[in-house]
């Protein structure tokens, strides 16, 4: 049975068969945002749904009244779909785009998070040379991250040392001022006593 888009139920329930198709293609959908509200765009009545895949990639699908696809965006970028009226083929095209974009998307997300991920190696599928190459690249990446942290720590230590010097200087100044104040208080007390004695 070929897939169809139910324009009247363009929501989580109505898109179940589409989600199942993606899952079969190895792209499970974690969430779906769909209001089932129609809007007019370029003379067409359009409904929009956003699918969030397990990897975090977002697919926005705009459907036309009648069940054809109006536009598809992957992570905010329009992707060309040839079979707009054949949903089976269209989903296949979309799945290909999502899979092809996954490595770059995950790499970008890791970069933004600032995390260096140690790759899990599968000895059965990977040659020793390839494993060494992957691990070497990861070691270099970790070295770079470590160097950045060291530089930052050194800079912060320098700032801390400077602040400590300033603090010590202020403490010495405060001690001097206190000594002066004590001396003045003593002089005032001596003068008072002298005046009282004279009176």
Distances (CA, A) of 185 to 39, 166, 181, 182, 199: 84, 28, 6, 5, 21
Structural domain includes residue 191: no
pTM of the model: 0.50
Q: Is 133 among the domain residues? A: no
Number of H helices, E strands in the chain: 3, 5
Q: What is the pLDDT of residue 78?
A: 92
Give domain status of residue 68, yes or no.
Answer: yes
Is residue 128 assigned to a domain? no
Q: Is residue 122 part of a domain?
A: no
Mean pLDDT, residues 113-133: 65
- Residue 54's domain comprises 16-113
Query: How many structural domains is the chain composed of?
Result: 1
pLDDT of 48 higher than 90: yes
Look at residue 135 and tell me if it is in a domain.
Answer: no
pLDDT single digits (tens) 12-40: 888 888 888 888 888 888 888 888 888 99
């Amino acid at each position: 049975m070929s897939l169809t888009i139910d324009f009247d139920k363009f929501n989580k329930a109505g898109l179940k068969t589409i989600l199942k198709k993606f899952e079969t293609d190895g792209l499970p959908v974690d969430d779906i945002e769909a209001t089932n509200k129609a809007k007019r765009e370029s003379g067409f009545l359009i409904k929009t749904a956003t699918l969030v895949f397990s990897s975090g990639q977002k697919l926005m699908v705009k459907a036309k009244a009648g069940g054809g696809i109006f536009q598809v965006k992957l992570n905010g970028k329009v992707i060309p779909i040839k079979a707009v009226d054949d949903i089976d083929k269209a989903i296949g095209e979309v799945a290909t785009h999502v899979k092809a974009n996954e490595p770059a998307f995950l790499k970008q997300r890791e970069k933004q998070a600032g995390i260096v991920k140690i790759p899990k190696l599968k000895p059965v599928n990977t040659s020793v040379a390839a494993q060494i190459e992957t691990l070497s690249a990861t070691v270099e990446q970790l070295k770079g991250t470590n160097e950045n942290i060291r530089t930052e720590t050194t800079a912060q230590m320098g700032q801390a040392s400077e602040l400590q010097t300033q603090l010590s200087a202020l403490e010495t100044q405060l001690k001097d001022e206190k000594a002066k104040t004590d001396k003045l208080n003593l002089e005032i007390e001596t003068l008072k006593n002298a005046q009282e004695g004279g009176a």
